[in-house]
Amino acid sequence: MPIPKPKGGETEQDYVSRCIEAIYDEYGQEQSAAICYSTWREGKMNKSTTNRVADKINKLSNNYKGINLSADGEVNMEEPCWNGYRQYGTKMLDGREVPNCIPIE
């Protein structure tokens, strides 16, 4: 039987009880509990980690729109702007001078 997934708004206790009941015959008490608690934690970690990463990417994308950034967040000065953007001087952003990339019209 497949391992059930947590439902939206379900508490940890409710999920673990439902999960153990669903897989008990196949895995037994201890193994079922371990699987269910692990599945609960995995689901919570994936959501929070994904949200933090997505928030950081969105912030960088919005603040540095049009600017080529390297993996460590530094500006690529050889090609400072994305395709479809051109540099029009510089600007101060987060306390540092960066290229002012504007869309090509």
Task: Give φ, ψ of 57 to 5 degrees.
Answer: -65, -45
Q: Identify the pLDDT of residue 80.
A: 86
Report the C-alpha dihedral over residues 52, 54, 55, 58, rounded to 10 degrees: 160
Range of the domain at 21: 1-63
Number of domains in the chain: 2
Same-domain status, 58 and 70: no
CB atoms near residue 44 (< 10 Å): 12
The predicted structure's pLDDT at residue 94 = 78
39 shares its domain with 59: yes
On whether the pTM is more than 0.75, the answer is: no
Phi and psi (nearest 5°) for 88? -130, 80
**Same structural domain for residues 36 and 79?**
no
Are 35 and 1 members of one domain?
yes
* Amino acid letter, residue 5: K
Is residue 32 domain-shared with residue 55, that is, in the same domain? yes
Euclidean distance between CA atoms 19 and 26, whole angstroms: 12
My answer on whether 59 and 70 are in the same domain is no
Residues 71 and 29 in one domain: no
Q: What is the pLDDT of residue 17?
A: 92
pLDDT value at residue 5: 85
Considering the domain architecture, whether residues 8 and 48 belong to the same structural domain is answered as yes
**Along the chain (105 residues), what's the average pLDDT of each consecutive run of 10 residues?**
83 90 89 88 64 66 73 75 89 86 87
